[in-house]
Structures are given as C-alpha cells and as structure tokens.
Chain A
C-alpha cells in the first residue's frame, strides 16, 4: 500500500512540510512566537526546558531537539538560541544539515538583541516558506510510516472501543511493514506480564519488565499512592478505578503483534513492527517523545476529549464514546463510540480508523492542526539545577 508523502534527503518520509522555529530554551519562546506572528504559516512551540539541566537529563532534552530538527515532517528549521544555554548548538545544526534540512541558527548574542533576532529569524522563515512548495508529494510505501499511539483522558470505554480499534490500526500498519510505538510506561503497570509474553526475544521481555519496574520504583520512592495521579480524576469519573485496570485497557493500542524493541524516551526505533518507548503517562511529554523518535503521525484515543496536538505531527483524536464525540466535535476527528453503541464491531471501527489515518498521511488536516494546537513538553529525568 502507498501514501503520498515527502521524501527527504536522508531517505526518511514526511507527511507534512513544516517550517519550524525551534526555541532551544524558554528565554526564546516570545521571540519565536513573534516570528511566527509575522509568518503564520510556520510552526513553533513553547519550551520549558534547555537551561540548568545536566547529565542524562540534558542529553534527553538534546535528543528531543535533534529529533524535531531532523524530523521528516520538517522542511526547514530556524533554531533560536540565547547563545548561553548548555545546548550543543553546533551539533544540533550539523545534525539537521546532515538530515538534509534547510537550517539556520539565530543566536541572540550573535545577531545583537531581540529586534534583530526577530527580523533575521523572520527572513529565514519566509525564505523557507517560499522554497518548501517546490518539494512535491510522491508515492511511498506505507512501510516508511511510524505511528505513535497514545491514549489520554481515558475512560472505561477506552479499553472497549478506542484502544482495541487503534490496536487494529497498529496490526494493519505492522502487516504493511511499518512501525507502531506503544508508550506510557506508567500505564503498563499491571499489564507488563502480558506484554513480556509477546516480546520477540527473552532480552526484550526483560527490558519491558525492567522499564515498568524502574518507573514503579520511582513512583514508590515518592511515598505516595500512585492513585493520586494514576488513574487521574478524569479517568475515575470515566469509570476507571485502578492503574491495573487502566493499563489493561491501554495496552490494546499496541494490537496483537510481537514486541520487537524497547527504546528510551525520544530514541528512534530501529526495528520494523511494534516497539515500546519508555515514556511517562503525561500526554504531552509522551507525544513529544514519540514524535522526536520519528513518528510522523499520532493516533490519540480519548474518553474525556483532550485538546492536545503536536507542533509538527498530525494527531488524530479518537473519541471512545459518542457522547464525548458529540460534545467536543470541534476538537475530535473520529468516533470509536459506535462500538459502545453496538453499531460497529472493533474490527470495523479499526479499519475505518486505518482509512482515516491514510487520509491524514496524504494531507487531510486534523482538528488539532486546524486549531493550532502545538503542545510540547519533555520528560524530565533530573531536577532543574
């Protein structure tokens, strides 16, 4: 099966053709926003990271920036820096260039202040916006697609309708040779033994159990009952009582195929098929991690109707029940509630969702893109220093 997409110089395939303004620290957020206000066809995001970080925590942030700057959905990137962040800007620019991106660094220290940074940044953005239309979509096999699966604002319907339907999409994509990412390690607690049984090797089984234990141990160290956060109050209103119950409903997103790989947050998967990325259950941090890892599209099931999207990847929002879909039609793309209403089987809904994904890959605009939802957040594994 083929989709029409943008083939990049590094051989990766994009389904969008964005010009991204990437602020490497929160000091640069307002400058980035002012540039995009002058060139509204570009995209940016608000960043809370990039300074006073160190060690593995800083490396992880850097990995996210690299993932965004080299992402196949991006045509060109203007990297905005103050110039004094602990970020290796040379390496970031170099990697973007190696990936074949149009890239320019605008450093506040070098260009000489805010007004100049806005002026110079806007010029580069406008240049890239004018150039990007020269790149045309062309047919590529579906095997070049990485799908990020996500559930957020879950209710007890998530495990009955939305997530099993998304599992059908995962299975269909994997059958085509593509990749599907299952994440949200918190929401594997209580279901990890089922995933370990599906690991393609004993090593991968051990890694699955390890990342879940690592996360649970961290939660335990806080000395609190995880139920303060997981399930969330919204989950509980929606009928989910325990983290185990939530997890058992969550893992349906990954379908039924063997697990081929376990990767760290924001790492790029290397194996075709279903992979697990170690992310928290925080929706925005999770989407950011999967997109940084190369996911060109996200399918996001929601019982309560979440508003979130991604700066550079279309995010297909799937309602798990018809009431939520009807209530929030302006931010939801698809209704899986027909399963609950007894009008469709999971298989039928899943195939319809797969068709929707193909349309979106081919360029159909999602609600979160239309509404300009570009949430961004990085999973922190250290404290601000």
Chain B
C-alpha cells in the first residue's frame, strides 16, 4: 500500500494524506490526470484535491458526497473547513438544506 496518501474511490475529488506532506510534494498516480503538485502543506490525515473543483459543486470522498466547495479549489489544494461545507444539519440556513438523499415520509415504528 502507498503509505503517503490514499484515494478511497477513483471518482473521489480528494485524497487523504497518511503523513504530513509539505507543499511542493509531487503526487503521482496510475491515472496521469492525478499527477499534481501540492500547493500547501497538508497536515497528517487531512485532504487535498486531486482535481480542480469549481465553487458550488459537490465534493466526493468514499465515492459519496461529503459537502460542497465554498470557493474554487485547485488540484493540489488543502481541502478543509475553509473551502468545503456540509450540506446537512444546517439549521443556520433559511429553512435548512439537504443533500440529494431521498427523504422518507414514513411514520415512526
């Protein structure tokens, strides 16, 4: 196993650093689209973008949506609370918003 970083699913927009990776580190992948250079230091267990992510679009990890980009993110950027937000449990937003999960209207048991 590659011990420097992990991409859980090929569709993922972000990979997780398995050790602290300094800015300038070259990240190479079997898929040459992912040959990127880290633009900031990535702390241990934090995420970096493996491709450009436009502002307002869904961000994927584990092959699933983990939130939305609050600003344009470039491949190699550190991805965390400064540029990625939850779509769920957002009582702070007018009426709240939910992700693309189908809601059940069934009553409790």
Name A's B-contacting residues (CB within 8 A).
155-157, 159-160, 186, 189-194, 203, 205-207, 209-211, 213-214, 216, 219-227, 230, 236, 238-239, 241-245, 248-249, 262, 303, 321, 323, 340-342, 345
Contact = CB atoms under 8 A, between A and B. Distances in A.
Given A192-B101, A194-B64, A241 B88 contact: no
B45 A244 contact: no
B: contact size bracket: 35 or more
Interface stretch (B1-9, B21-29, B30-38): B1-9
Contact of B99 (A190, A224, A230, A303): A190
Contacts, number: 136
B79 A241 contact: yes
Nearest to A208: B104
A244 B66 CA distance: 5
B90 to A, nearest CB: 6
Nearest to A222: B91
The dominant DSSP class at the B interface is loop
Given A156-B16, A220-B89, A244-B86, A207 B47 contact: no
A230 B67 CA distance: 14
B47 A239 contact: yes
A239 to B, nearest CB: 4
A192 B61 CA distance: 15
Contact of B108 (A189, A190, A214): A214
Contacts of A194: 64
A258 B23 CA distance: 43
B99 A239 contact: no
Given A156-B46, A190-B66, A191-B64, A241 B89 contact: no
A192 B109 CA distance: 17
A243 B88 contact: yes
A236 B102 CA distance: 27
Nearest to A339: B1
A342 B86 contact: no
Nearest to A226: B89
Per CB-CB distance, the 6 closest pairs between chain A and chain B, nearest first, are: A226-B89, A342-B3, A209-B104, A239-B45, A245-B66, A156-B45
Contacts of A159: 62
Given A207-B108, A210-B107, 12 more contacts: A156-B16, A157-B45, A190-B66, A190-B101, A193-B101, A205-B104, A210-B109, A226-B90, A239-B44, A242-B88, A244-B99, A245-B66
Interface in B47-89: 47, 61-62, 64-67, 79-81, 84-89
A238 B8 CA distance: 17
